[in-house]
Amino acid sequence: MTGPLPMGPLPIGPLPIGPLPIGAFPTTGDRTHPRADRRSAAEFSFWLAMPTMAGAFAYDLYKSHGQMSSGNTMLVAVGFAVSFICAWIVVKTFLGYVQRHGFALFAWWRVLVGALGLVALALGK
């Protein structure tokens, strides 16, 4: 089946962050809470991303389950393991960098990439 799920779209929008206390929501600056440090703020965003990524993987697996064979299953398992190890290394490195240097470099990077994206849209590319 290549279309949407038979029950329609899943109502998952606010569910991953629903039980969080009000003080945990991001405010201005690079802190999620006045007493939180930069590393905690970055960890918080990664924890919020995990259910989204797991849901996307499960949905993609559901959509392509007809194409899975024993060879494909092993390929997916190896890809999952390698991706997990690489992501762990990248996240650990990122959290260490943020703890020492802050978010300024990443804020400017987002501004630069956003500006380039707007230019590309304006040029029709």
Residue 22: inside a domain, yes or no? no
Mean pLDDT of 2-9: 49
Is the residue at 52 inside a domain? Answer: yes
Domain count, the chain: 1
Q: Predicted confidence band at 12 (pLDDT cuts at 50, 70, 90)?
A: low
Instruction: Establish if 37 belongs to a structural domain.
Output: yes
Q: Mean pLDDT, to the nearest integer, of 8-27? A: 50
User: What are the tens digits of pLDDT across the range 61-114?
Assistant: 889 888 888 788 888 889 989 998 998 899 889 888 888 888 888 889 989 999
pTM of the shown model: 0.54
Range of the domain at 59: 33-123
Q: Return the amino acid letter for 8.
A: G
Q: Is residue 12 part of a domain?
A: no
Give the three-state DSSP class for 21: coil
Residue 2 lies in a domain: no
Residue 72 domain flag:
yes
Reading the block at residue 77, the tokens are 């398992």
The type of residue at 47 is W
- Confirm whether 39 is domain-assigned: yes
- The pLDDT value given to residue 24: 47
Please report whether residue 58 resides in a domain: yes
In this structure, which amino acid lies at residue 106? F
